[in-house]
Amino acid sequence: MKKILVSLTAAAAFAVLPSFAQAAPATPAAVADAQTTAAVKALLDAMDVRKVMLAQFAEMEKSFPAMMRAQLSAVIQNDPNLGAEQKKEALAKVEQILPGAAQAMSKVFRDPTLIDEMISEMVPLYANNYTTAEIKELTAFYRTPLGRKMLAVTPRVTTESMAIGQRVVTPRLGALMQDIMQGVQKP
């Protein structure tokens, strides 16, 4: 029972990660032609995608333990089937598993091939949604002072957005988890 609760909560916590971490279409996008591929790579370079992703990953690494602690604690505290001692034990178990979960997440985000793979997957995404001319216009924008500023504040805005999402979503997920658990516990 507790394993189900922890698994559901972990899955729910990952649901509030930034949009690039949300589920993507299962089918790969069409391959872009050489000119468009070069334009997209120039755009991603102008956007400092590597730098932005590294900064976002670093922010996620910092906030992950607190996010998981808050999510799991809310579910445990709101579980009417757990007594005070059981809640205390479950919260202690959360504190035991958090360092290992954070370390595992750090390992994923520090894999040097992760960003290369994401960029490779992003080329057809941009190619399918923008013309080559539009991609070149976007590249020009990101090379302007306003474009550079947008890139500089993106990690902070993303982190603050995640905190807002966590604050707004956590109570709703807690209630949903309770409904799910009640359905699982019924004979």
Q: Is 162 within the bounds of a domain?
A: yes
Q: Is 24 within the bounds of a domain?
A: no
Q: Is 69 within the bounds of a domain?
A: yes
Q: Is 22 within the bounds of a domain?
A: no
Q: Is 21 within the bounds of a domain?
A: no
Q: How many domains does the chain have?
A: 1
Q: Is 18 within the bounds of a domain?
A: no
Other CB atoms within a 10 A radius of the CB of residue 35 amount to 11
Q: How many CA atoms lie within 13 A of 101 on its CB side?
A: 22
* Residue 183 near residue 1, CB atoms below 8 Å: no
Measured CA to CA, the distance from residue 171 to residue 165 in angstroms comes to: 11
- The DSSP secondary-structure symbol of 80 reads T
| Residue 93 belongs to domain spanning | 2-13+33-181
Other CB atoms within a 10 A radius of the CB of residue 107 amount to 9
Residue 135, SS3 per DSSP: helix
- Give the pLDDT of residue 11: 40
Share of the chain above pLDDT 70, in %: 81
Q: Is 93 within the bounds of a domain?
A: yes
Per-residue model confidence as pLDDT tens digits over 17-26 = 434 344 444 4
Per-residue model confidence as pLDDT tens digits over 64-117 = 888 888 988 898 999 999 999 999 999 999 999 888 988 888 898 889 899 999
* Residue 82 near residue 76, CB atoms below 8 Å: yes
